[in-house]
Structure 1
Amino acid sequence: MKTRYILTLLPVLLAGCESLDVPQSPAEPCSPVSYVNHPRHQTYLAELQQYRRKANAPGSLLLIQKPGEPRWIGAVGKSNLAYQTDLRVCDQFRVGSITKMFVAVATLKLQEQGKLRLDDRLATLLPGLKGRIPQADQITVRHLLSHTSGIVDPPNESIAYQLSIVDDYQARFKLTTEQLLTTYVYGKPLHFTPGTAWSYSNANYWLLGQIIEQKTGQRLHEVLDGWIFRPLGMNDTYLDVRDDRNVVRGYADLYGNGRLYDVSHWDRADTDGGADGGIISTAADLATFADALFNGNLLAEGSLSEMVKPTLLPTCPSGDCEYGLGVEHWKTGLGTAYGHNGGSVGIEANLLFFPKNKGIFVLYKNNGNGSDKSLMDRLMP
């Protein structure tokens, strides 16, 4: 299981900074469905409440979907501490790197349309990158999707990248993907020869977003909306940058003293609109996506097989990198699950599909630290 995309250096970099953003007013009402009559409501709710307490999160969401019982969604705690707003099952939240699954689907659909191949070279697809990214003529689409390109990962590796968010999040929010690549990626040496090792990099997906836009002549958010969101009826999901007052606020214990700070402005500056982690969605919409994807309603059978096939390299533990094409492989008590973890300073989100019983698991909290997710082993069988 690969859990990445958390700005791990920020607590060190802050060094006493107290000037944090004023929280926005509460979100507009959504229409929550009640699950109190679900046969396992009390069991699931108790597990979710325990998870929230152990994670020290203001609020948490959980979705369980399994054969033989109706879908259940629960929400506990707060979405906005300043206004003491209750978290609701229908609330929208940042999903972080779960976004990579959607971008991978769009890339594979381009292959199905004959507009690219997984073995096409980066320098061929984006000729302007030749000489700007080392070995761009050797890096393939497959390498980008599977994190085997060797390209650096600014959000997790660059102090300068992280400081740019802390120092002036509004300026960082205005930077284009090309400007991010120019500042933090171009000219930087690769970690390894493409295809020889595995190293998570959000920059891989910045580049995939550019490839998709170049091949379609549309903005990435338009592609995802037209190919995935609207066809599946995911009406509460989007990638384009919008007013985020309807999005759950994100929090972090920046100094390790238990005090939570609203860091939504950093999350927004770092992720909103980005191909690496910019989607905003709901628990129900994420389940709809996973259901459609893994049950063969979004991609052809061959494409889905390519997507979930494990990346095998001698440099990975036991030879299994636990990653496919935009899909993490989680080792669970119910066998391997496919999906993705997403995280930023103030959020953690998880989406998993269990092939053994076609179950779907969504877990979210508005606190950016890691968490013990063993409740899925108790709840998904």
Structure 2
Amino acid sequence: MKKLSAIILSLVIAFSVTACSSGNNEESKPVESKIAETETTESVNIKENMDSVLEHKKFEGIVYLTKDNSVIYQSATGKDEKGNDLKVDSIMYIGSISKQFCSAAILMLRDQGKLSLDNTLDTYYPEYTAGKNITLKNLLSMRSGIPDMVVKTPEAALQVEDVSSDKTEEENVAAIKEWIFKQPLVSEPDTTFEYCNANYFLLSDIVEQVSGENYYDFISKNIFEPLNMTNSGFINDVKNNSEWGLTYDTFVVGEDAIGLTKGAGDMVSNAEDMDKWMTALSSGKIISNESYLEMTTDYSPEISHKYGYGMAGYYNGGWGHSGFIGNYTSFDYINDGYHLFIADNTGYMDIENLPTDLLANVITSPAN
């Protein structure tokens, strides 16, 4: 069985990014850049300032910023995989932003009384000896001590040799679980933060066990359909929807192996759908306000950045997540009625810093 190389970009958050250039064409000009029809001096300044940031940062892709459901700024530059101009409503892979949806699914089941975050993994995997000391909360907060399926080497590789794009979801999922359960922990549970996609892979599997539904069906029925997110789906769906303008051409061999990114980096969406998601998530429409507060609580004060449940702390006290998969990078951000979504298909590596530069033109009083 072959190892899958270069998969690290598909799932890992780069909290300390040093690359400052995406390699985009400096002469690229926006193909679409709009603000509300009634333009005030402030809105014009926001547009000019944000356009200037995107030009300076050499960003090609989609930027969509709203405040209380009104569009403040939107821009689309570059081309999709088929050579057509990107539009604000183009569908993109969103990588690890997918973890928010998995986290919400777990909290949804908890709010329904179907599980407890204090449940240990041996509840769901009796064969997993180390699981008796690892809770669902440890998985959500990246404090489980479980090793990742992805190792950070110069080439980067998936450690599970029995995963393949030629195999079924059931075969791949079984192979990944078998690998996880055989590995020694890298740290004792709840002693330190270790970003690990295996945590959310297991959480998606637990959603299936508790709900009795396929994970993809659960998310579709409980999130996509109620929120009318008609332009959202999963990597698996791309094969069956040519109208989305997406392929696997920017992935390395095997990144599209069904089940591999489950719960951790498996989704596609667009700007409008992501705004619906951020609105519902932060306003008690998907999970309770108390559960959202849990998602946006820092559980690892010993590290330099904040991390909750599938959400990280960013500029001015806002919360969101970045995503990397293939050549796609993405970012979402929620803060006091502001929702920002960014996505590109050029492998833009400064995605963690771009939101701060953009939001400095809108939110002018950073929190202490």
For structure 2, the 5+ residue unaligned runs are 1-6, 13-31, 364-368
Can you list the C-alpha shifts for 1:38-81, whole angstroms capped at 9, x where unaligned?
634785377357537745x6x4000010249535432111112x
**What are the residue-to-residue correspondences of 1:218-367 with 2, within 5 Å?**
218-239=213-234, 241-242=236-237, 243=239, 245-247=242-244, 262-263=250-251, 267-269=255-257, 274-313=262-301, 315-317=302-304, 321-330=305-314, 332=315, 335-355=316-336, 358-367=337-346
Question: Are residues 1:79 and 2:80 paired?
Answer: yes
Aligned match of 2:121 = 122
Deviation at 1:250, TM superposition (A): 8.2
AA aligned to 2:310 is G
Aligned match of 1:179 = 175
**Aligned-partner Cα distance in 2 for 1:78–1:35:** 21
Larger mean CA deviation between 304-313 and 264-273 belongs to 264-273
CA distance change for structure 1 residues 107 and 163 in 2, over 3 Å: closer, same or farther? closer
**Aligned-partner Cα distance in 2 for 1:284–1:218:** 27
SS of the counterpart of 1:170? coil
SS of the counterpart of 1:210? helix
**Aligned-partner Cα distance in 1 for 2:347–2:134:** 32
Question: Are residues 1:380 and 2:362 paired?
Answer: yes
**Residue 158 (structure 2) aligned to one of 157, 161, 171:** 161
**What are the residue-to-residue correspondences of 1:71-150 with 2, within 5 Å?**
71-80=72-81, 83-128=82-127, 130-131=128-129, 135-150=130-145
Can you list the C-alpha shifts for 1:80-100, whole angstroms capped at 9, x where unaligned?
2xx431111111111101110
Larger mean CA deviation between 294-303 and 104-113 belongs to 294-303
**Aligned-partner Cα distance in 2 for 1:96–1:151:** 21
TM-score by length of 1: 0.75
SS of the counterpart of 2:343? strand
Deviation at 1:341, TM superposition (A): 0.7
Can you list the C-alpha shifts for 1:186-240, whole angstroms capped at 9, x where unaligned?
3212111000100000000110011000001100011111111100111111136
Can you list the C-alpha shifts for 1:16-59, whole angstroms capped at 9, x where unaligned?
xxxxxxxxxxxxxxxx997584634785377357537745x6x4
Asked whether the 8 Å contact 1:267–1:346 carries over to 2, the reply is: no
**Aligned-partner Cα distance in 1 for 2:254–2:55:** 22
Deviation at 1:312, TM superposition (A): 3.5
SS of the counterpart of 1:368? coil
**Aligned-partner Cα distance in 1 for 2:260–2:182:** 26
CA distance change for structure 1 residues 380 and 248 in 2, over 3 Å: closer, same or farther? farther
Asked whether the 8 Å contact 2:224–2:232 carries over to 1, the reply is: yes
TM-score by length of 2: 0.78
Asked whether the 8 Å contact 2:151–2:157 carries over to 1, the reply is: no
Deviation at 1:307, TM superposition (A): 1.5
CA distance change for structure 1 residues 52 and 97 in 2, over 3 Å: closer, same or farther? farther
CA distance change for structure 1 residues 67 and 7 in 2, over 3 Å: closer, same or farther? closer
AA aligned to 1:380 is V
Asked whether the 8 Å contact 1:239–1:272 carries over to 2, the reply is: no
Asked whether the 8 Å contact 2:33–2:76 carries over to 1, the reply is: no
CA distance change for structure 1 residues 160 and 266 in 2, over 3 Å: closer, same or farther? closer
Asked whether the 8 Å contact 1:248–1:366 carries over to 2, the reply is: no
**Aligned-partner Cα distance in 2 for 1:45–1:245:** 35
Q: State the percentage of identical aligned residues.
A: 23
SS of the counterpart of 1:137? helix
Deviation at 1:302, TM superposition (A): 2.1
Output the aligned Cα RMSD.
3.4
